[in-house]
Amino acid sequence: MIKLPGLIDPHVHLREPGQTHKEDWDTGTSAALAGGVTMLLTMPNTKPPIFDAATLDLALDAAHPKAHCDYAQFLGAGPDNTDWDEHSGLPQRAAGLKMYLDSTFGQLRLDDMTLWQEHFKTWPGELPIVAHSESRSMAAIILMAAIYNRPVHIAHISLKEEVLLIKAARERGIKVTCEVCPHHLFLSKEDIPAISHGHPGRGEVRPRLATKEDVEALWANLDSIDCFATDHAPHTLAEKDGENPPPGFPGLETMLPLLLTAVDAGRLTLDDLILRMVTNPRRIFNLPEQPETWVEVDENTTYELHAADMHSRCGWTPFEGWKVKGQVTRVVLRGSESFKDGKILVEPGYGKNVRE
């Protein structure tokens, strides 16, 4: 048995308010615990999007009675909320500010760079900013971080050119950090036919699955990658197989087993994993420690990943049938046995807002 600290996932979509047929705070935080995640940060592209005090309260009021694990909620950067006031207390109540600079799922998107600048000027310097920015827009937002001399965290990098640019920026002292998702480490675009089973929508995710060369570059430059994050983006199988399939993969229940399998294969160490799933996210997002919290893993159990065994409401996984080594057997969160042998044992509402 291996004992790990409770994992932190800084990039999760839970769909409540608005789209609870895909996921809600109950099913999503159950999926988290089953995957060894005891704290998660949720994204603002819900319906409605979370971008001011009233919508933040909508999300937090939904979370409060339902969450099984600890959490914080991001605010979204829009064209009409660039005048953040640190004295209002609002920014401090959020996980951070999320900026969508490239095509994504939902309504939040900032095209004009003067809007990026406004957000950088008014969002308090010591609070996190996360950018969904691919390729050249990533280069542009890193320039913004350099100009305003403040940190920016790049969500879900997937390309060789991205990891190499981040590395070069850091060598010059620019305050940029980044995360990578398991699906960009374990899948390339060549895997799309196998994931799709004849339904191309199942291969749709943003950023798109990249080339094998990109995947190899991420592994080769792991020392420039600060965090692992799922970008858990649940959509139902009917939606993925229908017309205009929304992009996104679920990930909370597959991240740790996939990474433990990579540890077993000698591709990274347990220390590499803990650094990127506990130590670094805690530092980057200024998150509290969770006392008496740990994850027990049977490192020798080999089993297959099946959506039918999972807690997420979306009902599918791109890793269906994958053989993995290393199974979460028990999770203790703040002194309470929260998950054991496939079952969630803490009541909805046990989870705490870590920004409160």
The CB-of-244 to ligand NCD minimum distance in angstroms stands at: 13
- Residue 246 near residue 205 (C-beta atoms within 8 A): no
Q: Which of 19, 73, 81, 104 binds ligand NCD (CB under 6 A)?
A: 104
179 binds Zn ion (CB under 5 A): no
Picked from Zn ion, ligand NCD, none, the partner binding residue 315 (CB below 5 to 8 A depending on kind) is none
Cis peptide before 79 (omega within 30 of 0): no
The CB-of-210 to ligand NCD minimum distance in angstroms stands at: 13
- Tokens 């401090």 found at: 92
Phi/psi for 327 (5° steps) reads -125, 135
The CB-of-18 to ligand NCD minimum distance in angstroms stands at: 12
Beta-carbon neighbour count of residue 54 at 10 Å?
A: 9
Beta-carbon neighbour count of residue 197 at 10 Å?
A: 12
132 binds ligand NCD (CB under 6 A): yes
The CB-of-207 to ligand NCD minimum distance in angstroms stands at: 8
- Quote the distance between the C-alpha of residue 144 and its chain's center: 23
* Residue numbers 219-248 binding Zn ion by CB under 5 A: 231
| Candidate segments 79-87, 187-195, 244-252, 301-309, binder of ligand NCD by CB under 6 A | 244-252
Between 142 and 205, CB nearer to ligand NCD: 205
Output the CA torsion sign for 207, 208, 214, 218.
positive
CA distance linking residue 123 with residue 246, whole number of Å: 30
The 10 Å CB-count burial string (b at 16+, else e) for 310-324 is: bbbbbbbbbbbebeb
Picked from Zn ion, ligand NCD, none, the partner binding residue 45 (CB below 5 to 8 A depending on kind) is ligand NCD
* Residue numbers 180-239 binding ligand NCD by CB under 6 A: 205-206, 231, 233
248 binds ligand NCD (CB under 6 A): yes
Q: Which of 247, 315, 348, 349 binds ligand NCD (CB under 6 A)?
A: 247
Token pair belonging to 180: 């990578």
Q: What is the CA radius of gyration of the chain?
A: 19
Picked from ligand NCD, Zn ion, none, the partner binding residue 182 (CB below 5 to 8 A depending on kind) is none
User: Pairing mode, if any, of strands 227-228 and 2-5?
Assistant: unpaired
# chain residues binding Zn ion, by CB under 5 A:
1
Contacting positions for Zn ion (CB under 5 A) = 231
Contacting positions for ligand NCD (CB under 6 A) = 13, 45, 104-105, 132, 205-206, 231, 233, 246-248
